[in-house]
Structure 1
């Protein structure tokens, strides 16, 4: 890519996605913005065109809908100008697992995991062939903390982290950078989806601060960026402990603690 690549941002109409769109436009990138709310996308695009001169395309789609998602996948496969994917679209649910309707759970899983995988899969082969490009997957610190009591949402975000780390290991040698971004509580509309008043929470990060921090990690090519974690040594220790277990998984017999006693 001889010029700056275009950036496709999902969930771009508000919150984290809109902030990413603004930051990349100000960095001189053209944009493809994807979300369900066309009016919001148009308002954002008009403002960014006026402020930055960026060329901005709008694609209205519900990524949880397979039929609507196909057009976005095709754009990622076929448009060689797009060199960065910001996989940001996602949602949450309120209530406990047994209180949540299975149809709502299906939609959450479809948006937070299936759509994210499909879009990454649509662009990755082309980026690998070009030998450059980036995929940014927005996960959540909740994926590391089952104690937060968000079993399905947290599981989808654990999926995002695992997928991102595994893709990073596979694609880095082909020139493709993959970043997982793990926010904690951030002031976005997702709280309303879960029936939570964000103003009642403490330690909530503003969207601009989150995205600016995530972009520092992006520029440094961090595989995992956790903006709210001040002690990076804790993450490094977590990763070291996980990796230390790997050789122990290759065993032909169960651990002694699982053997029947006489």
Structure 2
């Protein structure tokens, strides 16, 4: 059996993980990996029918207990439902905040409603669910939170896109909260993949046909490296050497030059595939 991220309290034999955005992309890959590693699961997504089918698949294949929680985390009711599950009943050993969206239009052409929904899902739900689960984890002195961010959060590379701003928040938030939680034996980490082969881009209406093959990451490899970094206690995980180099470039290239390069080449460093 592959090594788990080991966030389980002493004496617990059946760890429990909650995964949001669990029916597709990185969320589904996380669910499969964690079930294989011996976790029971609570899966959160909007589509109840799809959730039920996926839960049956995981139970039949891995023999784990899989609970489904249909919820739209861009809504107040959806957040409240998941917060309640995190704070009541069986303690959670690992929370994976994966649910998120991207907007395909510039801020100059989006609506306030679109931008507010982006913030509620990519930012507010991550804050609220992390805030809900940490008190019990710190009291037990065990547990972990993985917030799925993106390499895009390290720079404003796409003119008019507010997606990168939401991911910059997730990364900074996770790094800061992770430092506060560490003395209690609790790990909080931002997982920042680049372009990852999932259905995320197709569902978001992002045309990827002109992108070279080498730019793409495999979702399972992203999770493998992310879980290794979690075990090492890292606060931020950037899978794959080419994206590590990209982050170094983003952090040290003068902004005016960086913006000029991205305007001329239309390069996107990456939106994680959910």
Decide: shared fold, TM above 0.5: yes
Relative to structure 1, the CA distance from residue 97 to residue 234 in structure 2 (aligned partners, 3 Å threshold; closer, same or farther) is closer
What is the TM-score of this pair, normalised by structure 2? 0.81
Q: Aligned equivalents of 1:200 and 1:43: distance in 2?
A: 34
Q: Which has the higher helix share?
A: 1
Of the three residues 202, 219, 225, the one matched with 1:213 is 225
Q: Aligned equivalents of 1:163 and 1:121: distance in 2?
A: 11
3-state DSSP of counterpart to 2:229: helix
Q: Which moved more, 1:107-116 or 1:199-208?
A: 199-208
3-state DSSP of counterpart to 2:189: strand
Q: Is 1:152 equivalent to 2:162 in the alignment?
A: yes
Structure 2 equivalent of residue 182 of structure 1: 192
3-state DSSP of counterpart to 2:108: helix
Structure 1 equivalent of residue 31 of structure 2: 21
Relative to structure 1, the CA distance from residue 101 to residue 189 in structure 2 (aligned partners, 3 Å threshold; closer, same or farther) is farther
Structure 1 equivalent of residue 132 of structure 2: 122
3-state DSSP of counterpart to 1:221: coil
Relative to structure 1, the CA distance from residue 103 to residue 234 in structure 2 (aligned partners, 3 Å threshold; closer, same or farther) is closer
Q: Which of the two has higher C-alpha Rg?
A: 1
Q: Is 1:55 equivalent to 2:65 in the alignment?
A: yes
Q: Is 1:64 equivalent to 2:74 in the alignment?
A: yes
Q: Aligned equivalents of 2:187 and 2:175: distance in 1?
A: 10
Structure 2 equivalent of residue 169 of structure 1: 179
Q: In 2, are the aligned partners of 1:137 and 1:164 still within 8 Å (CA)? A: yes
Provide the alpha-carbon RMSD of the alignment: 2.1
Structure 2 equivalent of residue 199 of structure 1: 209
Q: Aligned equivalents of 1:92 and 1:118: distance in 2?
A: 20
Q: Which moved more, 1:187-196 or 1:9-18?
A: 187-196
Gaps of 5+ in 2: 1-8, 253-274
Structure 2 equivalent of residue 36 of structure 1: 46
Deviation for aligned residue 1:143: 0.6
Q: In 2, are the aligned partners of 1:94 and 1:193 still within 8 Å (CA)? A: no
Cα displacement string for residues 39-96 of structure 1 (whole angstroms, at most 9, x for unaligned residues): 2211211111111110000000000010122111011012343111000000001021
Q: Which moved more, 1:5-14 or 1:209-218?
A: 209-218
3-state DSSP of counterpart to 1:147: coil
Gaps of 5+ in 1: 241-262
Of the three residues 135, 149, 157, the one matched with 1:139 is 149
Deviation for aligned residue 1:168: 0.8
Q: In 1, are the aligned partners of 2:20 and 2:45 still within 8 Å (CA)? A: yes
Q: Aligned equivalents of 1:94 and 1:235: distance in 2?
A: 23
Deviation for aligned residue 1:151: 3.2
Q: In 2, are the aligned partners of 1:131 and 1:175 still within 8 Å (CA)? A: yes
Greater relative contact order structure (CA < 8 Å, 6+ sep): 2
